[in-house]
């Protein structure tokens, strides 16, 4: 596994929904003193049940965020990935079993903690069938896609394909889960 410092000061964290991207981004942010940017927070309007912003507004927020000299950004949004990867200095891919990700979705939605990494300000969370379908069906193999994208980018990359591998990453890099 690459040392954390080898990923530079502009790091992308990719992976399917509820894999732990935001939590990892916050832990790396604290360790390296990088600002953490959660793309879900830029994509959705605060004080809603995850209602998307207009696309042009989201794209403008994304593009402004990646202009910074130092950051860790979690989220995918493939349509905006090329410009993000062009600015990035390193990448992390985390994936895990879809049933684990589904249970995390249920937990985070039902508990709805405002201090959760990546929480949408004032969100009124509800369980959504389209999100369940997204986790259990649509993104089951997205880790393969994101791995290919990261490798083709030529960025130094770390991949964690299981919850155990992610836990090991936290240990090796001496990260605090929260």
Structure pTM? 0.93
pLDDT digits (tens, 9 = 90+) for 30-51: 999 999 999 999 999 998 888 9
Mean pLDDT value across residues 163-175: 96
Do residues 68 and 45 lie in contact, with contact meaning Cβ atoms separated by under 8 Å?
no
pLDDT for res 50? 86
Measured CA to CA, the distance from residue 92 to residue 124 in angstroms comes to 30
User: Among 171, 138, 166, which Cα is nearest to 21's?
Assistant: 166
Find out whether 11 and 28 touch, Cβ atoms under 8 Å. Answer: yes
**What average pLDDT does the chain have?**
93
CA dihedral angle for residue 32, residue 92, residue 98, residue 43, rounded to 10 degrees: 70
Question: Tens of pLDDT along 65-91?
Answer: 999 999 999 999 999 999 999 999 999
């Amino acid at each position: 596994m690459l040392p954390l410092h080898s990923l530079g000061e502009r790091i992308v964290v990719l992976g399917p929904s509820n894999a732990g991207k935001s939590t990892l981004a916050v832990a790396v942010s604290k360790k390296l003193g990088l600002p953490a940017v959660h793309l879900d927070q830029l994509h959705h309007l605060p004080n809603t049940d995850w209602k998307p912003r207009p696309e042009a507004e989201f794209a403008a927020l994304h593009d402004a965020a990646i202009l910074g000299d130092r950051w860790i950004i979690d989220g995918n949004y493939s349509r905006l990935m090329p410009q993000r990867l062009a600015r990035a200095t390193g990448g992390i891919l985390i994936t895990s079993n879809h049933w684990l990700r589904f249970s995390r979705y249920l937990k985070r939605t039902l508990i709805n903690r405002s201090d959760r990494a990546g929480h949408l300000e004032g969100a009124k969370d509800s369980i959504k069938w389209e999100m369940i379908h997204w986790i259990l069906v649509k993104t089951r193999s997205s880790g393969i896609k994101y791995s290919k994208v990261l490798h083709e980018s030529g960025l130094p990359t770390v991949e964690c394909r299981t919850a155990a591998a992610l836990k090991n990453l936290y240990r090796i890099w001496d990260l605090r889960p929260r």
